[in-house]
Every structure is written in C-alpha cells, then in structure tokens.
C-alpha cells in the first residue's frame, strides 16, 4: 500500500443516548443503499473542524432496533461506502469493576463474544476470508479517544474487556458473577459484537468507548439493574460523548497516513478462495468491503 496520505473520514456509531453530532457544517441525512440490507437509519454527514464526519444511530432514531436485530453488516458496509476510515463506537454498558463507576468511560481493547443470533461476517461459502482479531481495536484511534476524554475532564479508563451478550434481557446474578469473577470481564454490553469484527473485515480502524450506566447485577449494594437510574446516567453520558466526538477531528486531522497497526490492510492475505472458485454474487456484494483486494 502506498504511504501517500489519504483523507480522514470519521464514522461515529452512536449507541443508547447518542443520536446526533453537534456543530456539523453542511449537515445532511443521507440514505445509503447496501447489498447487505438497509442500515439502521439514514447517515448524518458533514464536516467538523475541517474533517469529514458520518454519524449513524445504531438503534435508529427513536431507538427502534433491538441489539439482536441491528443490521450490523449493512451499517459497516454503508459507512465504508461513504469513505469512512475510522469508526468511533459509542455504547452504553454495565460495569464489573468497583473503580469503573456509573458515569465513567472505558476505552475498550478486548472483547468476549457471547452473542449467537447475529450474522458475524461478510464472508462465507463462495468467498472465504479470515482476519486477525487478536487486537480487535485500533491503538492509534483508541489513544486519540482517550486523550480527547481526558482533555474534557471525563473519568476515563484506558483498556478493558467488553463482554458482549445477546440480550435484550440483562444478566442473571449467576451470569454476572461468572463474567466478573471467572472470565475477568470489565464491562458488559449488547452491541459491540459483531460490529468490531465486521469493521476489521472492512479494513476500517475501530475504537470502542463504553459509557458506564450501572454495575450490572453483581454489586452487593445495587443488586439489580435499575432502568430509571440507567436512563438518568445515559443523559449525562450522552452530553460527555458529544463533547468527546467534537474533539476527535482535531486529534486525527484531515490528512491520513496508513494505519501503523495495519487495520486498513487487514485483508491483505485474508481471502482464501481461489479467484476461479469465487461466487460472483458474493463477490459483487463485497465490492465496498473487500474491493481493494478482490479488484486489485
């Protein structure tokens, strides 16, 4: 890949409580068609501090998609079609750690995927592909988000393991204790998987900001998830998240060099199916996600 600088396009996937971006110039909601189905919603595009931005509400405006029915493949494909180079994922979560308190943010660096009812890959029969997920988030992008949060005075933790559960129900007490005490997870949510996996397949840098709303059900002083308290904390977290997003263009800049960690080259040797054996229909659907390799 050339070392010539390209153009930064920041994609923000907003979770519960975050439904837009403040201050966008030339803002417009755009319908983006994808061969993987309809995305969660139209995508808000514009420019912030000289950097192109694209915002996608993960659950749709009005919160119409449940975690299991979010069209994850269509969402990532649509952002790729808009030229997004860096995805900042913002989502609500519960905490398994006393020191990671409601109102704090966590820059996630690892995942345990316990989801089971979702399409988790763009690839399949007719075009088999594999990517590395040893380090599922981009350190460069994660560092930028962490520094942006610190500059705003947000209590933010660098690094944490996110347990992705299917939902939509919250954990039982036994599950919560197992995830915390046996598996060593730090936070729990329902939406970062397969989102992070698909972003890697699409060769897009991905960082996850987990906004803590509660202590799940393990905490002896809390006992169970209080929906009313979650909503109250969400409101405060959303304001912090909007401020954090507003700091990202200045941190990343409009010119973009190749990712030093190789996120934008994740498919370099990943497609295993021989060219003559590839399914033309699947290859056609992969035009945005894997076109750099398939058409190269």
Say if residue 3 carries a ligand binding annotation. no
User: What is the C-alpha separation between 25 and 12, in angstroms, rounded?
Assistant: 16
Domain ranges in the chain are: 8-294
The pLDDT score that the predictor gives to residue 1 is 33
Per-residue confidence band for 18, with pLDDT thresholds at 50, 70 and 90: confident
pLDDT at 235: 79
| Per-residue confidence (pLDDT) for residue 94, from 0 to 100 | 94
* 16 known member of a binding site: yes
Q: Which residues are catalytic?
A: 214, 216
CATH of the domain spanning 8-294: 3.40.50.1580
92 assigned to a ligand binding site: yes
Q: Is 142 part of any known ligand binding site?
A: no
Lowest mean pLDDT among 21-30, 149-158, 226-235, 276-285: 226-235
Q: Specify the pTM.
A: 0.94
Residue 80 has pLDDT above 80, yes or no: yes
In the prediction, which pLDDT does 230 show? 73
Q: What is the 3-state secondary structure (H, E, C) of 120-172?
A: CCCCECCECECCCCCCCCCHHHHHHHHHHHHHCCCCEEECCEEEECCCCCCCC
Q: What is the pLDDT of residues 54-79, one digit of tens each?
A: 999 999 998 999 999 999 999 999 99
Percent of the chain at pLDDT exceeding 70 = 95
């Amino acid at each position: 890949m050339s070392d010539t600088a390209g153009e930064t396009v920041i994609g923000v996937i907003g979770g519960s409580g975050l439904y837009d971006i403040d201050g966008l110039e030339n803002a417009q909601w755009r319908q983006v068609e994808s061969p993987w189905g309809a995305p969660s919603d139209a995508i808000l595009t514009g420019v912030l501090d000289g950097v192109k931005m694209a915002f996608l509400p993960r659950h749709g405006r009005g919160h119409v998609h449940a975690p299991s029915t979010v069209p994850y493949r269509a969402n990532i494909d649509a952002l790729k079609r808009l030229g997004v180079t860096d995805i900042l994922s913002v989502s609500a979560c519960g905490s398994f750690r006393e020191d990671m308190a409601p109102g704090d943010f966590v820059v996630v660096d690892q995942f345990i995927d316990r989801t089971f009812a979702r399409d988790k890959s763009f690839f399949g029969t007719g075009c088999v592909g594999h990517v590395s997920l040893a380090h599922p988030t981009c350190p460069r992008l994660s560092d930028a988000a962490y520094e942006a949060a610190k500059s705003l005075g947000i209590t933010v933790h660098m690094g944490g393991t996110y347990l992705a559960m299917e939902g939509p129900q919250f954990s039982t007490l036994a599950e919560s204790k197992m995830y915390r005490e046996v598996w060593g997870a730090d936070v729990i949510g329902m939406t970062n998987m397969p989102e992070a996996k698909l972003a890697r397949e699409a060769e897009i840098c991905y960082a996850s900001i987990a906004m803590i709303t509660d202590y799940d059900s393990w905490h002896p002083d809390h006992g169970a998830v209080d929906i009313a308290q979650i909503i109250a904390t969400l409101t405060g977290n959303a304001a912090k998240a909007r401020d954090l997003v507003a700091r990202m263009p200045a941190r990343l800049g409009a010119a973009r060099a190749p990712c030093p960690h190789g996120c934008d080259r994740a498919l370099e040797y990943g497609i295993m199916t021989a060219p003559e054996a590839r399914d033309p229909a699947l290859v056609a659907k992969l035009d945005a996600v894997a076109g750099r390799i398939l058409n190269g």
